[in-house]
Amino acid sequence: MLNIKTYGILALSIISLSAAAQKAKPLFDGKTLNGWKAVAGTAPYKVEDGAIVGTMTKGTPNSFLITEKEYGDFVLEIDIKLEGENTNSGVQTRSHIKSEGNNGRGLVYGRQMEIDPTPRSWTGGIYDEARRLWLYPLELNPSAKPLYKKNEFNHYRIENIGNELKTWVNGTPVAYVIDTLDQSGFIGLQVHGIGNNLENDGKKVYFKNINLQTEGLKSKSFPKGIYTVNLTPNTLSGYEKSEGYKLLFDGKSNAGWVGAYKTTFPAKGWKIENGVIGVEPSGGAESTNGGDIVTKEEFAAFDMSFEFKLTPGANSGVKYFVTLSEKNTGSAIGLEYQVLDDVLHPDAKLGRDGNRTLASLYDLMTSKKEARYLRPIGSWNNGRLVVYPNNKVEHYLNGVKVLEYVRGSEEFKKLVAISKYKDWKNFGEAPKGHILLQDHGNKVDFRTIKIKKL
């Protein structure tokens, strides 16, 4: 029979052992590269003064030092110093390698926490290396841009728990992505290729204090107000719900939507299937088949996100502040986030200075986007519209802000006066309006349409 004293000592020992098992463990022994291997590029890695040092090297693509083991759920803490102010690095999480890539040296792909000392300042953002590209640029959390300290060791925390990936830079929360890909994979340290920036040849990246916890994990909470990229179709996380988001499309039905100028949902021209609400093709004419659909509810200030998938040559749009008061024929009137295949659809060449291209404020203002932030036709792209209570409006494409303007400002009125909307009194200045998905006669799909009132 155990006496109370003996039982107490045993209980304390068990608690102590349990706590020890849950502590982070070094992923790097400080002396050797045991447990790691270099892949993809030819930039060298070696150990110096308790740190792994990678050296940028001309004539090589991105180089990685990856763990020989794969990991599922983990919390990684690491200190990294990157030389230079126009260089780049990153940490791969749950990543993989195509052995045939890079002429047999291997092509690394998967989610990466970015380290970016350039004026862009996207350190802590999430990039999907060699696959979907940017998932969480810091345009989505601009308050985190000043956290990085140039040419110094910065401390990073990366949480990969379940489908959630969160990052911290020097103790401050930065990025939050919920994804459905990659339940496990290796961890990797990147030396970025330098391309034609030969002044970066020989610059170094230092990695030290690399500690990994895989048991007893507990996610650190994020403060309110950080935008979440949720790539699970038609769902809201608990965090998003607490932030006030709701789904405008439930993934299964037309609940909350009706035809423009109608009291019911169109009987033809739209299909809801496999979690997608899509316009059916009908020859490319505007609103001649099912017609546009609008939300039953009206919105004033809001933050709205949506995924869209274009077919080759397709045209559609997401309109906002649609009042339906004009009773016009064709597509209902409203401010429009253009959804378009810029390469194949002729509308991209019309208008002024490209103001009818993808993510533009249709016929009014051109989106400023780079090709590297676009995903191919037939892939899902992410759109976002933010309308602030002071009438400032922002358009985003795949997390990157591509334009902004102020409704009702003198600049806005001047743009309207030289547009196709010039004959509509106070165009785009209504205090509230419906959200509209446009039927332009081409097959375009939408999903994960969420909105938060501001």
Backbone angles phi, psi at 241, to 5 degrees: -60, -40
Residues 6+ apart with CB under 8 A from 239: 176, 222, 228
All domains in the chain, ordered by first residue: 23-213 (2.60.120.560), 233-453 (2.60.120.560)
Global pTM? Answer: 0.92
Express each pLDDT in 196-252 by its tens digit.
999 999 999 999 999 999 999 999 999 999 999 999 999 999 999 999 999 999 999
Assess contact for 385 and 407: CB atoms under 8 A. no
Express each pLDDT in 409-418 by its tens digit.
999 999 999 9
Question: What is the CB neighbour count within 10 angstroms for residue 178?
Answer: 19
Average pLDDT, the chain: 94
CA 273 – CA 279 distance, rounded (Å): 11
CA 320 – CA 385 distance, rounded (Å): 9
CA 190 – CA 228 distance, rounded (Å): 25
Average pLDDT of span 123-146: 97
CA 407 – CA 409 distance, rounded (Å): 6
17, pLDDT greater than 50: no
Assess contact for 251 and 233: CB atoms under 8 A. yes
- 206 or 284, higher pLDDT: 206
Helix (H) or strand (E) holding 38: strand 36-39
Question: What is the CB neighbour count within 10 angstroms for residue 210?
Answer: 24
Q: What angle do CA 278, 282, 284 make, to 5 degrees?
A: 95
The confidence score (pLDDT) of residue 11 equals: 46
The confidence score (pLDDT) of residue 40 equals: 96
372, pLDDT greater than 90: no
The string of DSSP codes covering 419-453 is STTTTSTTTT--S-BEEEE---SS-EEEEEEEEEE
Average pLDDT of span 111-133: 97
Assess contact for 296 and 257: CB atoms under 8 A. yes
CA 151 – CA 143 distance, rounded (Å): 21
448, pLDDT greater than 90: yes
Closest residue by Cα to residue 387 from 340, 337, 339: 337
Residues 6+ apart with CB under 8 A from 337: 317, 318, 319, 320, 359, 360, 361, 362, 383, 385, 395
CA 270 – CA 221 distance, rounded (Å): 40
CA 384 – CA 308 distance, rounded (Å): 11
378, pLDDT greater than 80: yes
Identify the burial level of 239 via C-beta atoms within 10 angstroms of its C-beta, where 0-12 means exposed, 13-18 middle and 19 or more buried.
middle
Q: Which amino acid is at 352?
A: R
Residue 284, both tokens: 């490319």
Express each pLDDT in 180-196 by its tens digit.
999 999 999 999 999 99
Closest residue by Cα to residue 447 from 225, 279, 267, 196: 279
Helix (H) or strand (E) holding 91: strand 89-98
CA 285 – CA 308 distance, rounded (Å): 19
Average pLDDT of span 420-440: 96
Residue 264, both tokens: 């019911």
% of the chain beyond a pLDDT of 90: 90
Q: Count of alpha carbons within 13 Å of 151, Cβ hemisphere only? A: 5
Assess contact for 110 and 182: CB atoms under 8 A. yes
Q: Which amino acid is at 219?
A: S
19, pLDDT greater than 60: no
